[in-house]
Structure 1
Amino acid sequence: MALSIAELTLVEQRVTNDAPSVVVAYLLWLFLWFVSAHRFYLGRPVSAILQILSYFVLIGFIWVLIDALLIPGMIHTRQDEIRRDMMRALARG
Structure 2
Amino acid sequence: MTLSVQQQMLIEQRITNEAKSTGAAYLLWVFLGGLGGHRFYLGRTGTAFVQLLLCILGWATVAIGIGIVLLIVLAMWVLVDAFLIPGMVQEQKDNLRSSLSMTAMLANGAAQPPQA
- Cα displacement string for residues 51-83 of structure 1 (whole angstroms, at most 9, x for unaligned residues): 222342121111001100000000000000000
Residues 1:75 and 2:89 aligned together: yes
Mark the structure with the bigger radius of gyration.
2
Q: CA deviation at 1:34?
A: 2.5
Residues 1:86 and 2:100 aligned together: yes
Moved over 4 A (4+): none
| Mapped partners of 1:84, 1:2: distance in 2 | 13
Equivalent position of 2:36 in the other structure: 36
Equivalent position of 2:12 in the other structure: 12
Equivalent position of 2:48 in the other structure: 48
TM-score w.r.t. the length of structure 1 is 0.95
Q: CA deviation at 1:33?
A: 1.4
Q: CA deviation at 1:38?
A: 0.4
Query: Is the 2:22–2:86 Cα contact (8 Å) retained in structure 1?
Result: yes
Q: Give ranges in structure 2 of 5+ residues lacking alignment.
A: 59-69, 108-116
Aligned pair count reads 93
**What's the secondary structure of 1:20's corresponding residue?**
coil
Percent sequence identity is 44
RMSD between aligned residues = 0.9
Query: Is the 2:34–2:74 Cα contact (8 Å) retained in structure 1?
Result: no
Stretch of structure 1 that moved more, 29-38 or 41-50: 29-38
Bigger relative CO (Cα 8 Å, ≥ 6 apart)? 1
**What's the secondary structure of 2:2's corresponding residue?**
coil
